[in-house]
Amino acid sequence: MSLRYILLAIVVSLSACTQLEPLPEWVQTPTPQELDEILSGEALFDAPVSDDTPPDYPLFELTPQMRLVADEVAMQHRSAAARAQALHQRLLSSPMAGGLGMRYSALHTATAREAFEERQVNCLSFTLMYVAMARHMGLKAEVNDVKVPPSWDLRDNETFLLFRHVNAKVMLPFGDQLVIDLEMERYSPMYDQTVIEDQRVAAQFYNNRGMELIAEGQSRAGFLHLRKALSLDPQQGFVWNNLGTLYRGKGHLHKAETAYLQGLAQAPTDLTLMSNLSGLYQSAGEEEKAAYFYQRARAHRNGNPYYLYSLAQEQLAEGNLVEAERYVKAAMKQENQEPRFYTLAAEIYERRNLPDKAEAMREQAERWKGEVYL
């Protein structure tokens, strides 16, 4: 694993998304009683599950071997930046190159200890492991919640898939920050991102574990994990969304609506919640409500420069160069500091035999790389 996966980044905000109109009066935030009902689990399991709790996970626990590796890295490097980069390389590079060869696996969210022992990580597991070991080395390392733009499935015009993403952020002397990411292709300093406290990290962990358990057919255990996530951080719209999806899958449409609406109250621009509400109302025969959330999600999606960027990529792949140029120019108009947009524009102009424009786009891409990536 090369060090191209490490960035020293100035963090700025993604600011080009469409401002949506306020929700209409018929969209009501659930009452406390309605929330108590869905959090009791009675509709799912025929009786309240108020006394059951999932296990407490030692998210940042270190093993003696983890401490040994961290100590070895610390002894070999003096500066904070060098230590942070060397730990990243040690974890991800192959055993033949002297590393531990961590492998990506989306199927299981592990604690720091589990990830180290199993040598398998997703973005959250890797971040837990990295932060735990970095802190042992004396680094000020935190978990960074990154609002990755929607990743669009373009098999039709309205299907999309949304991701959440975390990475590690190491605070360096003189105010610099080093971002350590498992999947650099999903990260940009342009994305809106926030360092989060360990309690919110735990909420994300319980959410991930909960959905994994539900996918394995363990609905009760999954429900308990989602409820634990909400007890730790009730403001996370995506957890309410997952709880709503559990209820909807079991045929409890009203309870699903309650969870989705509570999630929307926390995250009014969440595309997944809007899409799921549209689908729920469609299945319930409430066409006007379904159409409202469909159009609301569509308006928000079309105002996202990264969606326009994905359309430009699709058009380029199909050889529609004029359309590709139109979409990438629209993306750049909304977000004019994203280097990847200019790189794509350069490729489009090369294909159109416009070398001067291609070179100008490459220069812009390099300029913004220099501004955004130190």
Residues with Cβ within 8 Å of 136's Cβ and at least 6 positions away in sequence, in order, are 62, 66, 67, 70, 71
CA dist 287 → 166, 260, 273, 290 (Å)? 37, 17, 17, 5
**Backbone conformation region of residue 111, classed left if phi is above 0, alpha if psi is from -120 to 50, else beta:** beta
Tokens coding 184: 């650099």
Q: Is 35 helix (H, G, I), strand (E, B) or coil?
A: helix
Quote the CA–CA distance of 218 and 159 in Å, as a whole number: 28
Fold of 32-56+201-302: 1.25.40
pLDDT at residue 156 in the model? 36
Residue pair 98/168 in contact (Cβ under 8 Å)? The answer is: no
Residues with Cβ within 8 Å of 38's Cβ and at least 6 positions away in sequence, in order, are 243, 247, 255, 258, 259
Side-chain half-sphere exposure of 221, counting CA atoms within 13 A = 10
DSSP-H helix ranges across 102-218: 112-118, 123-136, 198-215
Q: Which amino acid is at 241?
A: N
- Give me the residues paired with residue 103 across strands: 120
pLDDT at residue 19 in the model? 58
pLDDT in tens, 249-271: 999 999 999 999 999 999 988 88
Quote the CA–CA distance of 323 and 313 in Å, as a whole number: 10
Overall CATH class of domain 64-196? alpha beta
Burial label for 182, CB within 10 Å (0-12, 13-18, 19+), is buried
Residue-wise burial string across 236-274, b where 16 or more C-beta atoms lie within 10 A, e elsewhere: bbbbbbbbbbbbbeeebeebbbbbbbbbbbbbbbbbbbb
CA-based torsion, 319, 321, 326, 331: positive or negative: positive
pLDDT in tens, 273-314: 998 999 999 999 999 999 999 998 888 777 788 888 989 999
Quote the CA–CA distance of 89 and 105 in Å, as a whole number: 18
Residue pair 30/262 in contact (Cβ under 8 Å)? The answer is: yes
Superfamily of domain 305-372, CATH level 4? Tetratricopeptide repeat domain (1.25.40.10)
Backbone φ and ψ for 354, nearest 5 degrees, come out as -120, 75
pLDDT at residue 189 in the model? 79
Q: Given a cut of 70, is residue 160 above it in pLDDT?
A: no
Q: Which amino acid is at 336?
A: N
C-alpha triplet 60, 73, 94: angle, nearest 5°: 85
Quote the CA–CA distance of 58 and 56 in Å, as a whole number: 7
Q: How confident is the model at residue 152 (pLDDT cuts 50, 70, 90)?
A: very low
Tell whether pTM > 0.85: no
pLDDT at residue 373 in the model? 56
- Lowest-confidence pick of 10-24, 93-107, 155-169: 10-24
pLDDT at residue 374 in the model? 47
Domain definitions of the chain by residue range: 32-56+201-302, 64-196, 305-372
Q: Is 166 helix (H, G, I), strand (E, B) or coil?
A: strand
Mean pLDDT, residues 176-185 taken together: 84
**Backbone conformation region of residue 175, classed left if phi is above 0, alpha if psi is from -120 to 50, else beta:** left
pLDDT in tens, 77-97: 999 999 999 999 999 999 998
Q: Given a cut of 70, is residue 174 above it in pLDDT?
A: yes
pLDDT at residue 221 in the model? 95
Quote the CA–CA distance of 32 and 24 in Å, as a whole number: 21
The alpha carbon of residue 41 and the mean position of all alpha carbons in its chain are separated, in whole angstroms, by 27
Burial label for 142, CB within 10 Å (0-12, 13-18, 19+), is buried
Quote the CA–CA distance of 374 and 372 in Å, as a whole number: 6
Q: Given a cut of 70, is residue 135 above it in pLDDT?
A: yes
pLDDT in tens, 10-25: 232 233 344 567 888 8
Write down the residue that tokens 């159409």 correspond to: 291
Establish whether domains 32-56+201-302 and 305-372 are of one fold: yes
Write down the residue that tokens 């991930």 correspond to: 208
